[in-house]
Amino acid sequence: MPELPEVETVRRGLQPVMEGKRIGRAEVRRPDLRWPFPENMAERLTGQRILSLRRRSKYILADLSSNETLLVHLGMSGRMLIDDAPTANFNANSALPGKHDHVVFHMQDGATITFNDARRFGAMDLIPTDRLDAHWLLEKLGPEPLGNAFDEPYLKKKLSGRNSPIKTALLDQRVVSGLGNIYVCEVLHRTGISPKRKAAKISGARVASMVPAIRAVLSEAIDAGGSSLRDHRQTNGELGYFQHRFAVYDREGEDCCKEGCDGRICRIVQSGRSSFYCPTCQR
């Protein structure tokens, strides 16, 4: 599932062709994805200007001139692809909608944005903008890891007393939003912390070290266009490239890349998810 860097990469790709622009016609080609689409979604979107295009955690949020906000979740395989956008540097591809092209935004200036989702685990919803924070998908989310509310005192407080492994704690979206399996593995390797260590047992100094590491790993991944393992594509159809810089994720059995470490990357399963780490330098 796309994590924060992949979703932010998609948002940035969409921004030049959607933000401030009007939806000439919205086309909804099926009744549902993971859940049913909101009632009359095509009619409610058609003719609306997109005032701003934001991201909250792993969700893209398009604030509309109708005082509603379109929430988009990419799910496992969702892609937002831009076709024939003369105002942006994307390759034109005028193919007819395909089998998995479920929602199409025909922008008034001629651009077309298609939501393609082969596995149909994605979702869209329309919410009154002034009630967005109370939406069931957003109301319990923790702070953005790249925002000012996420800092060392906050993280120390949230991890204090938690008996769960630090890997599990950082994946809890109520602690910090947007982090997923890939980037937590990378952060823990960068800070030398074992994913098995209990969150409450980590020293204050080591907890503090995770805050800049989280910011750095996410920022580097965004700059690289995210990580493409199976389905992620940028809005121009290109792959992300951060997977070529993984230190531990999906590198089971390979040598640790940390200078001076002679360990090998191991894989364990925690809460049904694979954790990759170096038992030699991560304690």
Catalytic residues: 2-3, 58, 273
DSSP characters over the chain: ---HHHHHHHHHHHHHHHTT-BEEEEEE-SSBSSSBPPTTHHHHHTT-BEEEEEEETTEEEEEETTSEEEEEE-TTT-EEEEES-TTTT-----PPP-TTEEEEEEETTS-EEEEE-SS---EEEEEEGGGGGGSTTTTT----TTSTT--HHHHHHHHTT--SBHHHHHH-TTTSSS--HHHHHHHHHHHT--TTSBGGGS-HHHHHHHHHHHHHHHHHHHHTT---SSS---TTSPPP-GGGG-SSTT-TTSBP-STT---B-EEEEETTEEEEE-TTT--
Q: Report the chain's terminal Cα–Cα distance, integer Å.
A: 28
Backbone angles phi, psi at 98, to 5 degrees: -95, 180
- Please count the CA atoms within 13 angstroms of the CA of 256 that sit on its side-chain side: 21
Length of the chain equals 283
